[in-house]
Structure 1
Amino acid sequence: MTAAPKPPKPAKKPKDLMARIPAGFVRAVLRGHSSLGLAFAALIYLVCLSGSIAVFAHEFQRWESATAPQVTDVTPDAVQTAFEGAVAKGGAGVEHVYITLPTNDFPRLLLYVDAEEDRQFLADAKGQIVPGGEGAWTEFITRLHINLHLPRTWGGFLVGLIGVALLSSLISGILAHPRIFRDAFHLRLGGSKRLQEADLHNRLGVWALPFHILISLSGAFLGLTTIIVGVLGMAMFNGDVNKVYALFIPAPPIDDPRPAPVLDLRPMFAKLPDTGARIEYVFTEHPTEMGGAALFNVKHPDRLAGTDSYAFRRDATIYNASPASANNAGEDILAAMGVLHFGWFGGGLIKIVYFLLGLGLTYLAASGVNIWLARRRDKGRPAPGWERAWAATVWGQPAGLAAAAIAGLAAADVVAAIAAWLVVSAAFLLAAIRLPAERLSVIGSVATGVLTLLAAATHLALRGGIGAADSMAWIVNAALVAGGLFLILWARRSAGASTSTAPAAVPA
């Protein structure tokens, strides 16, 4: 009699690799994740919020210069005329002139003069300087994101550190939640507000993880460039950082400060190779000295990092040529870093995607602190002071940015924009001394919405109105109106929800 066959063993379910992480390690990483996030929370939030808006820098610049003529193409003669006009109006001590030639997404001929007093000009298709070149709001939001309006070296270094902190927070957040990939689509809606926000925080962190890593890594690299170059200079060239920069940027010709006529760019245009690419920028150095030089950047539209550079001496001889086709992989990565970080490739759709993903990253920074505060509250250790301060930070910044837009439009001065931002930010922090967090959130949403609507109204009143030549002005104003109305309606809904969930008063 034969024995009955043994039943087959049930197949083992594959284990999630992340689930094998020891519990003690997870707790330690979670504590580190919380500590790191709290230490840099406000700065990460501000950098992410300003970066999301700065994606549309060209659109805002067109919005601010709505009365200026649209320029789709220019001749070398027109560029030379505009160049000479900008130098003449730039005043004493002109060191550099940066010329931005018109493109599809920025139909302007823009000249920035680096002198004793930096100035910016616009020119028409014939090269004549025209009014309307002020871009205070655009400069405000881009500089806020790049260096927090601190001295450029120190501000850039701080932003680079924020990028490192953000990247570290992303990595530690993944390690601190072993089931985060398994539960990628698990949302507990309608229950505990803390659990709901925690789920949304974790899901957004996973869904857009490649974007988050790209932004934080490229931001850290761009911000810490000065430190990286300094270290390389010490290690390779006895501290001479100019030799490090010379590896990537053409060195200027021998300095010769003798006075000379304004640099003539026209013969340089004629010597550029005819590759079908588009001339994007012209950087001129010491344009009224014998040692003057010009660097032309020529962009290939079919390559992300496809920018050729040609450096000319005053006599229009080329002393450095760097075609993008000769780049190695590392040089292409370095050249594409800034474009990838800001989303300035692929047109308007890519910018909208970057904006939405950037807002998601901003929400991660805000919700992380909200979750920590809610966890303390649930454990019987509430921190109402920190709750009020964080609500004032979260809503004081967008309100401050909207106020900066109004001031920048009205005064055409970046200092006025900075002052408005600081005043509104400080007002919210002062209000946090007395007002509860929920009230601050509602007030902040209403204030941001109203100020956003006022920014659109200020633009209509002072920067073109119905007669704006650039259709982008109407698109930006429509977006501002829609965003402002949404924030006001959202605040009304939030206030209603808070009232309905508040406990009933106990009669005396």
Structure 2
Amino acid sequence: MRKPIWPKVPSEFVRAVLKGHSSLGLAFAALIYLVCLTGTIAVFSHEFERWENPSAPRLETASPEAVQAGYTAALDATGKGVEHVFITMPDADLPRLTVTTDVGGHYRSWAADERGTIVEASSPWTEFLTRLHINLHLPRTIGIFLVGLIGVALLSSLISGLLAHPRIFRDAFHLRLGGSRRLQEADLHNRLGIWALPFHITVSLTGALLGLTTIIVGALGFAMFQGDVNKVYALFVPPHPVDNPAPAPPLDLRPMFAQVAKLTDGRVAYVFMEHPTEMGGAALFNVEDGSNRLSHTDAYTFDRNAKLYFSKKAEANNVGEQILGSLGVLHFGWFGGSVVKIAYGLLGLGLTYLAASGVTIWLARRRDKGRSAPGWERVWTAVVWGQPVALVAAAGVTLVGIGVSMSLALAIWGGVTVAALVAAALLPAAPLSRLGKIATVGLLIALALAHMVLRGGEDPIAWTVNAVLIGLGLVLLWFARSAGRAAAV
């Protein structure tokens, strides 16, 4: 008999790791599921921005004159006290010149045409979704840190899952279909875990690093600069301009654009201004250098007199700076165009299913052993199906009109989430699951149809998003009916 290539793992070790894997997953289950689901959708945040503003002007490029006119018009529309201005230049992914002003943490956004004429363009649902994924709408530092811990928990669950199943690589294509539903789901859970393992590790690791940046910076400051974290940040970000609050005319970006054009052939992607109507105002230009690196953004910072006082070439970045600059792009799949985005979306759905099915399998295993937990089954069903319903219901705010606050989307999401948990106290898991599926299908299709009738617009991406929403609803309906027929047999 040929000697097996796989080393034999002691059964006691497997049981101990499996117990730890289950405990870790259950402790963070709901938050892991929520972060995976919202992260999958957030991959397409630019598409949803266009969906929320289907009639906003679209541009392939924007001249410095249009940028200047658009941002000064936004300043006039906002009024006094503007602390920061964020300008996103048009590109293939988001063909729109967007200007956002910040007054004490209150943001307003506009889209500008080729002459710099602005129209208000808010994206309350997209903003709500991305903040839910990034910091769970908690105070920013606390929320980002918690999401970082969730990334650590997810990464730990992936590693412990591998250790708890020593045959997982050997059985990578073994699926027991048509028999026990628990065994079938367990096989699919394990296969998805191993087939997309590089993706799962990438997004969980990058998410953990992004979320725990504050802790990492604090540790570096303690180790290298006697606790001065500002010196650590100075290694990665441009210095702040000299503070001078004396009133002044709006910064003139046009000579800065001219200098950037002489310094590089790259594309200006983003402009950030600090105190644009003060003498201490400054502007940071992020310029894509055209390379194939994930971290490929040069930085040029000018003072009010268009004097360049800081510059940083991406090609000169050290390893740490390259890693830091690549984390967000790698985490959300914002590289390689639509093909990579679609792949991230599908793989993200798989990771979301992995997070949901892990608890479902644990509950089924308890039930098979005569130790069922019907209360937890109802709660978990409310979480799994309550979140899609809540997110789609919250997306309805975009139908109300431009200028709707993100707070309305947050309130709707929170209300539906609470309602789902209340329903868990009133309904058994099976009918609660059917109700959640029906509500998700109905809301997806109704949202798309209502958007087409009420918002329309000329942006083809908006129509594509509506078609995808209807398609998702129909696919989910087909799966729900197939599962119902299988359960009836």
Structure 1 partner of 2:221 = 233
8 Å CA contact 1:407–1:417 kept in 2: the answer is yes
Structure 1 partner of 2:414 = 422
Structural RMSD (CA):
1.4
What's the offset of the Cα at 1:21? 2.5
Structure 2 partner of 1:367 = 357
CA deviation string 1:236-276 (max 9, x = no partner):
33333222111100111211111111111111111114533
In the alignment, structure 1 residue 253 sits paired with structure 2 residue 241:
yes
Query: Which of 17, 33, 52 is equivalent to 1:45?
Result: 33
Structure 2 partner of 1:490 = 479
Report the residue type matching 2:151 in the other structure.
Answer: G
What's the offset of the Cα at 1:277? 1.5
Query: Which of 96, 103, 107 is equivalent to 1:108?
Result: 96
In the alignment, structure 1 residue 186 sits paired with structure 2 residue 178:
no
Query: Which of 303, 309, 312 is equivalent to 2:302?
Result: 312
For residues 378 and 418 of structure 1, the distance between their equivalents in structure 2, rounded to whole angstroms, comes to 39
| Structure 1: unaligned runs, 5 residues or longer | 1-9, 502-508
Structure 2 partner of 1:504 = none
Structure 1 partner of 2:158 = 170
Query: Which of 390, 403, 410 is equivalent to 1:400?
Result: 390
For residues 146 and 253 of structure 2, the distance between their equivalents in structure 1, rounded to whole angstroms, comes to 38
Structure 1 partner of 2:278 = 289
8 Å CA contact 2:83–2:274 kept in 1: the answer is yes
Structure 2 partner of 1:336 = 326
Q: Which 4+ stretches in 1 moved above 4 angstroms?
A: none
Structure 2 partner of 1:440 = 432
CA deviation string 1:60-108 (max 9, x = no partner):
0011111111111111111011111112222332111010000011010
Calculate the TM-score normalised by the size of structure 1.
0.93
| Structure 2: unaligned runs, 5 residues or longer | none
For residues 45 and 490 of structure 1, the distance between their equivalents in structure 2, rounded to whole angstroms, comes to 20
Report the residue type matching 2:113 in the other structure.
Answer: D
In the alignment, structure 1 residue 150 sits paired with structure 2 residue 138:
yes
Query: Which of 33, 37, 60 is equivalent to 1:72?
Result: 60
Moved more, 300-309 or 107-116: 300-309
> Considering only CA atoms, is the larger Rg found in Structure 1 or Structure 2?
1
Calculate the TM-score normalised by the size of structure 2.
0.96
Moved more, 44-53 or 247-256: 247-256
Q: Aligned to 2:400, what secondary structure does the other structure show?
A: helix
Q: Aligned to 2:264, what secondary structure does the other structure show?
A: coil
For residues 101 and 409 of structure 1, the distance between their equivalents in structure 2, rounded to whole angstroms, comes to 26
Report the residue type matching 1:462 in the other structure.
Answer: L
| Equivalenced residues, count | 484
8 Å CA contact 1:90–1:118 kept in 2: the answer is no
Q: Aligned to 1:118, what secondary structure does the other structure show?
A: strand
What's the offset of the Cα at 1:495? 3.3
Aligned ranges 1:49-60 → 2 under 5 Å: 49-60=37-48
Structure 2 partner of 1:351 = 341
Among all aligned residue pairs of Structure 1 and Structure 2, give the percentage whose two residues are the same amino acid: 63
Query: Which of 253, 262, 287 is equivalent to 1:298?
Result: 287
For residues 146 and 81 of structure 1, the distance between their equivalents in structure 2, rounded to whole angstroms, comes to 33
Report the residue type matching 1:485 in the other structure.
Answer: L
8 Å CA contact 2:56–2:111 kept in 1: the answer is yes
Moved more, 90-99 or 55-64: 90-99
Q: Aligned to 1:283, what secondary structure does the other structure show?
A: strand
Q: Aligned to 2:388, what secondary structure does the other structure show?
A: helix
CA deviation string 1:381-410 (max 9, x = no partner):
010111111011000000100001012432
For residues 162 and 268 of structure 1, the distance between their equivalents in structure 2, rounded to whole angstroms, comes to 42
Report the residue type matching 2:267 in the other structure.
Answer: R
CA deviation string 1:266-297 (max 9, x = no partner):
11111114533211000100111111111100
Q: Aligned to 2:353, what secondary structure does the other structure show?
A: helix
Q: Aligned to 2:434, what secondary structure does the other structure show?
A: helix
